[in-house]
Amino acid sequence: MARIAATLTVKGTRHYDASRLLTTGTLVPGLSVLLEHEPKNEHDRNAVVVLAGTTRKVLGHVSRDVARKYARLAKAKRIREATVSNVSGDGDEIRIKIRVVYEEPDSVLARRAGSTLVQSAACLPSSPGVYAIRNLDSGKKYIGSSANMKERVSGHITALSSGSHANPILQADVSQLGFDDFEAEVLVPCVPLSRLLAEEERQIKSHIESGETLYNLTPDGRGRAAAKWYQSSATESVTDRLAARPPIEAPPVKGSPVADAATASSRPFFGTYIRIVLVQAISAIRSFIGKES
Q: What is the mean pLDDT of residues 151-171?
A: 90
Q: Is the same domain home to 269 and 148?
A: yes
Domain residues for 10?
2-104
Residues 156, 274 within the same domain: yes
Give dist(CA 114, CA 231) in Å, integer: 36
Asked whether the predicted pLDDT for residue 95 surpasses 90, the reply is yes
CB neighbour list of residue 285: distance below 8 Å, 6 or more residues apart: none
Predicted pLDDT of residue 253: 45
Average pLDDT, the chain: 80
Does 270 have pLDDT greater than 60?
Answer: no
Q: What whole-number percentage of the chain has pLDDT above 70?
A: 74
Report CA-CA distances (Å) from 136 to 65, 239, 247: 19, 20, 29
The total number of structural domains that make up the chain: 2
State the average pLDDT over residues 167-173.
89
Domain ends where: 104, 129, 158? 104
pLDDT tens-digit readout, 201-214: 999 999 999 999 89
Between residues 77 and 263, the one the model is more confident about: 77
> Is 165's pLDDT higher than 80?
yes
pLDDT of residue 236: 34
Q: Against a cut of 0.75, is the pTM above it? A: no
pLDDT-derived band at 268, boundaries 50, 70, 90: very low
pLDDT of residue 112: 86
- pLDDT, average across residues 55-84: 93
pLDDT for residue 169 is more than 50: yes
- Asked whether residue 97 falls in the same domain as residue 169, the answer is no
Q: Check which CATH number belongs to the domain holding 192 and give it.
A: 3.40.1440.10
pLDDT of residue 111: 84
Residue type, 168: P
If 0-12 CB within 10 Å is exposed, 13-18 middle and 19+ buried, where does residue 117 land?
Answer: buried
pLDDT-derived band at 239 (thresholds 50, 70, 90) equals: very low
pLDDT of residue 152: 96
Name the region of 269 (left: φ>0; alpha: ψ -120 to 50; beta: rest): alpha
Q: What are 118-150's pLDDT values in tens digits?
A: 999 999 999 999 999 999 999 999 999 999 999
Is the predicted pLDDT of residue 238 greater than 70, yes or no?
Answer: no
Does residue 162 share a domain with residue 214? yes
Report residue 113 CA to chain centroid gap. Answer: 22
Please report the pLDDT score of residue 273 as a whole number.
Answer: 52
Last residue of a domain, one of 84, 104, 124: 104
Q: If you count them, how many residues does the chain have? A: 293
d(CA 204, CA 215): 10
pLDDT at 235 over 50: no
CATH number of the domain where residue 36 is located: 3.30.70.2330
Instruction: Please indicate, yes or no, whether residues 100 and 116 belong to a single structural domain of this protein.
Output: no
Do 94 and 117 have their domain in common?
A: no
pLDDT at 104: 85
3-class secondary structure per residue, the chain = CEEEEEEEEEECHHHCCHHHHHHCCCCCCCCEEEEEECCCCCCCCCCEEEEECCCCCEEEEECHHHHHHHHHHHHCCCEEEEEEEEEEEECCEEEEEEEEEEEECHHHHHHHHCCHHHHHHHCCCCCCEEEEEEECCCCCEEEEEECCHHHHHHHHHHHHHHCCCCCHHHHHHHHHHCHHHEEEEEEEECCCHHHHHHHHHHHHHHHHHCCCCECCCCCCCCCCCCCCCCCCCCCCCCCHHHHHCCCCCCCCCCCCHHHHHHHHCCCHHHHHHHHHHHHHHHHHHHHHHHHHC
Domain end, chosen from 76, 104, 132, is at 104
What pLDDT sits at residue 46? 93
Q: Same structural domain for residues 98 and 164?
A: no
